Amino acid sequence: MRKQRTISEIVKVSGIGVHTGKKVDVVIEPAPENTGIVFHRTDKNVFIKANQVNVVDTTLSTTLGINGIYVKTVEHLLSSLYALNIDNCIIKIDNEEVPILDGSSASWVYLLKSASFVEQKHYKKVLIVTKPVKIKDSGKFVALLPCRKFKISYSISFDGTFINKQKYELEINEQSFIKEISKARTFCFLRDIEYMQQNNLALGGSLDNAVVVDDYGIANEDPLRYENEFVRHKILDAIGDLSILNYDIKTHYIAYKSGHNLNYRLVSSLLEDKKSYVIIGSPKQETQILENLGYLSPVVG
């Protein structure tokens, strides 16, 4: 187990929301231990904690909300915070959507690492998956399996397109996230942009913040950052969606053609089944629980 962390300096950034197209200013401030990740809509003076209860929409992104006040497209920032082991901070935001920046987590990682980190007194609690939780729906599949580590195996399939089939697997930690995942950008198909904009989505999207796929390849002048950038971005999104558990996670997450909605349903299914996981709050408790369960020997991974 590790101690909780916050940032040591304030982080400031401005940008536009990829779906709303609205300009937004963000200020990330340090917070005391056990605060968690809390969004403060400063224009409404409403605080919204990043947790499963406050997820109100999963259409093309993850939206948190309370009483009709929202913070949209939180997954890239939450993914970065989780991977960098930043557990406590207040995110002040003066509009309804987190800025998309370049469509990846790279800018968030740079800004947060530049602020540096402060180790706090209390331990970060760990959630260990102890039995499989699975969902199948319309040819899609997602699961959480017992594992000693946090590992992700992800497969996508866009037959007949430039993307085609891609898969990627890795253990998630700060170093692997920064090197292998953080620079992967969000993506969309050129044919879908008009439909999304007619439905008030992707109003702030551009070739500067997304990889746009057409019939021949990508419309962007800049090349792909990874050969399989598309599946790596899906992993980035999944980390953000799972991070709202607010624990360090020990599980093998497996997904085929998953997305924000299926991730939300998976986390909900996990939390509803109290026998599918254990929560560990201290190193002593960790040893006791693992010995009592006989957990380490049969675990996968």
At residue 292 the predicted structure's pLDDT band, cuts being 50, 70 and 90, is: low
pLDDT one-digit tens code per residue, 99-123: 999 999 999 999 999 999 999 999 9
**Collapsed DSSP state (helix, strand, coil) of residue 162:** coil
Beta strands in 215-275 (DSSP E): 248-256
Which residues make up each annotated binding site for Zn(2+)?
Answer: 76, 233, 237
pLDDT one-digit tens code per residue, 151-165: 999 999 999 899 999
Could you tell me if 127 and 245 are in contact, meaning their C-beta atoms sit under 8 angstroms apart?
yes
Mean pLDDT rounded to a whole number for the chain: 94
CA-wise closest residue to 25 among 89, 83, 99 = 99
The single residue listed with the structure tokens 């779906």 is: 19
| β-strands 140-145, 248-256 pairing | antiparallel
pTM exceeds cut of 0.85: yes
What domains lie within the chain, and their CATH numbers? 3-123 (3.30.230.20), 126-293 (3.30.1700.10)
Predicted pLDDT of residue 136: 97
Average pLDDT in the 251-264 region? 97
Predicted pLDDT of residue 283: 77
Question: Residue 232 and residue 36: Cα distance in Å, rounded?
Answer: 26
Q: Greater confidence, 294 or 10?
A: 10
Does the pLDDT value for residue 285 go beyond 90? Answer: no
Beta strands in the chain (DSSP E): 3-7, 11-16, 23-30, 37-41, 46-49, 55-57, 63-66, 69-71, 89-93, 117-123, 126-129, 133-137, 140-145, 150-158, 164-171, 187-189, 211-213, 248-256, 277-280
Which residues make up each annotated binding site?
Answer: 76, 233, 237
Question: Residue 121 and residue 286: Cα distance in Å, rounded?
Answer: 18
Does the pLDDT value for residue 96 go beyond 70? Answer: yes
At residue 298 the predicted structure's pLDDT band, cuts being 50, 70 and 90, is: very low
pLDDT one-digit tens code per residue, 193-239: 888 888 888 889 999 999 999 988 999 999 999 999 999 999 999 99
- Could you list the active site residues? 260
Question: Residue 203 and residue 16: Cα distance in Å, rounded?
Answer: 10
Q: Greater confidence, 252 or 286?
A: 252
Does the pLDDT value for residue 48 go beyond 90? Answer: yes
pLDDT one-digit tens code per residue, 60-93: 999 999 999 999 999 999 999 999 999 999 999 9
Question: Residue 293 and residue 297: Cα distance in Å, rounded?
Answer: 10
Beta strands in 17-94 (DSSP E): 23-30, 37-41, 46-49, 55-57, 63-66, 69-71, 89-93
Question: Residue 262 and residue 142: Cα distance in Å, rounded?
Answer: 7
